[in-house]
Amino acid sequence: MNKLNDYYKNITGNELSDKQINQFETYYEMLVEKNKVMNLTAITEKDEVYLKHFIDSIALASYKDFKKGMDVIDVGTGAGFPGIPLKIAFPEINMTLFDSLNKRIKFLQEVIDELGLDGSQTGEKGVGSCVAIHGRAEEGGRAKELREKFDLAVSRAVANMAVLSEYCIPFVKQGGYFIPYKTGKIDEELEEGKAAVKILGGKIEKTEKLMLPDSDIGRSFVFINKIKSTPKAYPRKAGTASKQPLK
């Protein structure tokens, strides 16, 4: 826990509150307990979960400000990474957790309720909400209430840049960002995904790379700025992006 607090302090200049520390602790306990009956993570040892899931999730804050009232969507959130740790660390952002498996969404709703992440504590309309939504990215990206509504889309989902961009960029409003969490070695994948990013209305601005503390784990963040609206043809119907990636 100290390592997480130290990392948070290094990024933000502030320490985690007792409430935030307890929220991370409870989230870990809920994750490990639910993992006994449902495949959420292969990593269950506490120090490893804190490093490879919690610290990794909030690492983006080294390069990106998470401002009050900012609308963020985590596409393919799985067990809640990076969305839940980001929401705990920056409670005044509005977080949407989006996943195609309803069982995971039900678990995430339990976490939201147990940790009090729904924004009711802030007392301000449009500040600090957290919702979990079930659906396929291809359908969500076309839904009127979700398409081009977010300041930031993040994803730790395992898919190449071309496919992931088609899943995520449609959610981002013009002027916003899609920032995927990729492994340290990204150059070749980035080159192959450039055309898709451009077609979808994005522009690759930069890539930030770091090593997680006291580890040999590399992480790359690709900053994709949404410079124009995504054409109506995208995202294509379910399954098409992975079978026929944009080139």
For 21, 108, 112, 185, 189, the CA distances from 131, given in Å and listed in that order, are: 21, 9, 8, 32, 31
Instruction: Name the CA radius of gyration of the chain, rounded.
Output: 17
Reading the chain (247 residues) residue by residue, the pLDDT tens digits are 688 999 999 999 999 999 999 999 999 999 999 999 999 999 999 999 999 999 999 999 999 999 999 999 999 999 999 999 999 999 999 999 999 999 999 999 999 999 999 876 556 767 899 999 999 999 999 999 999 999 999 999 888 999 999 999 999 999 999 999 998 789 899 999 999 999 999 999 999 999 999 899 999 999 999 999 999 999 999 999 999 999 8
Residues 6+ apart with CB under 8 A from 204: 190, 194, 197, 222, 223, 224
Dig out the tokens for 156 from the structure: 């730790």
Residue 127 has a pLDDT of: 83
- List CB contacts of 226: < 8 A, sequence separation 6 or more: 148, 169, 172, 173, 174, 175, 176, 177, 178, 201, 202
Q: How far apart are alpha carbons 184 and 216 in whole angstroms? A: 10
Using CA atoms, how far apart are residues 68 and 128, in angstroms rounded to an integer? Answer: 8
Q: Which region holds residue 54: left if phi is over 0, alpha if psi is between -120 and 50, else beta?
A: alpha
Residue type, 201: G
Alpha-carbon distance 98 to 133, whole Å? 5
- pTM, two decimals, is 0.96
